[in-house]
Amino acid sequence: MEKDSPGKVEDPGAVAAMFRAPEWGLVAGIAVVLGLIYALEPSHAFFSPYSLRNLIHNIALHGVLAIGAAIVIIAGGIDLSVGAVVALASVVSAKLVTAWLPGASASSPSIAVVVAAVALTLLMGLAVGMMHALMINRFYLPPFIATLATMAGLRSLALILSKNQSVNVSFDAYRLLGRDPWYTVPLFLAVAVAASVVMGATVLGRHLYALGGNETAARLSGLSIPRLKTIAYALSALLSALGGILYTGKDGQARGTMGVSYELFAITAAVVGGCSLSGGVGSIRGTVLGLTLIQIIIKGTGLVVKPFTLNIGSWAFRFQGIDSTQVEGLVLGLVIVAAVAFNQRLRTRN
């Protein structure tokens, strides 16, 4: 038998498959959008250090939520409560650190109090995810209905706990992770790498893909469907609670109205990144790239679209330009329709 030489590529097909991965299309899309922004925006404000820092910071903050949403979607579910869990975690963590825990203080609590508040908030997130799994596994509610109900209920609970007022959290020990990109971005990368390893290189990840691909076949194969759903929804809610802590640190205050439409950001990032709403398809790296593309489009649109005057006869219409926050909903709506239509067409052709 002929032995392979040390420099010989053992599996050329694997290398070719790697370069055919759908994530390369997202990379190309990001490059094209960046090129268009560079060409259409002469001041190149988008590429300033300050602008890029804010962009990366926003990607990290939304990315924590998007990863949780992607895990649930790959497992064949959907989580509409992401934004509500962010709001509840924001209020609960702020109340714990300023009033509820022994030794809590609105001015300068101890590090132990901050750590305890963060840990209890994350445990609350796990409990919310397990509640979702209970409603789906035991009461046989569709995931859409179960998480839609908690989306409304948890946000109302956050408003009740905060008495419909902001809770200020001004001390650095709590705000450090969410306010400073040098801490937020590494934390997000750690979450992304851990989730990617779990989904791509462990038995648990393969089982979650199998569950999303065909629940009946997964059950007949001996997989514990309730256990897998519990893990998926618990991870999503846990990461949403972490997001609530980070956003509170960034803003310096907790609000029951925080996180409105964040579930749309998370789900859109996952779908654009290649996750199929039917389940069983997608990746964490694709989700991160999809979120990056969305954030670049939103921020770039606000810079490229300039004020202009349109003269129609005796009428003069003055357009004052737009801010990136004003086009978020429009961009997300268009992108998610295009992404789902593309995925459906691809699945039909295959």
Strand partners, 317: 310
pLDDT at position 337, please?
83
- May I ask the CATH architecture of the domain 43-304+322-349? Orthogonal Bundle (1.10)
Q: Is the distance from CB of 262 to CB of 65 less than 8 angstroms?
A: yes
Between 180 and 304, the higher pLDDT residue? 180
Lowest mean per-residue pLDDT among 7-21, 276-290, 318-332: 7-21
Helix (H, G, I), strand (E, B) or coil at 20: coil
Q: Return the pLDDT at 1.
A: 44
DSSP helix/strand/coil, 137 = helix
Question: What does the pLDDT read at residue 71?
Answer: 98
State whether residue 165 is helix, strand or coil. Answer: coil
Question: How high is the pLDDT of residue 5?
Answer: 46
Helices (H), 75-171: 82-95, 111-137, 143-162
Give the model's confidence band at 320: pLDDT under 50 very low, under 70 low, under 90 confident, else very high. low
In one-letter notation, the amino acid at residue 221 is S
Q: Calculate helix-pair angle for 181-201, 203-213, nearest 10 degrees.
A: 70
Which of helix, strand or coil describes residue 84? Answer: helix
Q: Give which of 179, 60, 173 is closest to 116, Cα–Cα.
A: 173
Query: What's the predicted TM-score (pTM) here?
Result: 0.91
Q: How far apart are CA 33 and CA 46, in angstroms?
A: 12
- Please, which residues have CB within 8 angstroms of residue 171's CB and are 6 or more apart in sequence? 107, 108, 109
CA distance 11 to 8: 9
Name 84's Cβ contacts closer than 8 Å, sequence gap at least 6: 150, 151, 152, 153, 154, 155, 158, 259
Rg (CA), the chain: 22
Q: What is the DSSP string of 196-250?
A: HHHHHHSHHHHHHHHHHH-HHHHHHTT--HHHHHHHHHHHHHHHHHHHHHHHHHH
CA pair distance 125, 130, nearest whole angstrom: 9
Mind listing the pLDDT tens digit for each residue in 131-172? 999 999 999 999 999 999 999 999 999 999 999 999 999 888
- As a whole number of angstroms, the distance between CA 17 and CA 21 comes to 6
**Cα torsion angle, 267, 270, 272, 275, sign:** negative
CB-side neighbour CA atoms (13 Å) of 149: 10
Q: What is the DSSP string of 275-293?
A: --TTSS---HHHHHHHHHH
pLDDT, average across residues 277-285: 93
pLDDT at residue 25 in the model:
86
- Which of the four pLDDT bands, split at 50, 70 and 90, describes residue 17? low
CA dist., res. 19 & res. 280, Å (int)? 21
Helix (H) or strand (E) holding 310: strand 308-312
* pLDDT score recorded for residue 236: 98
| Residues 6+ positions from 58 with CB-CB distance below 8 Å | 295
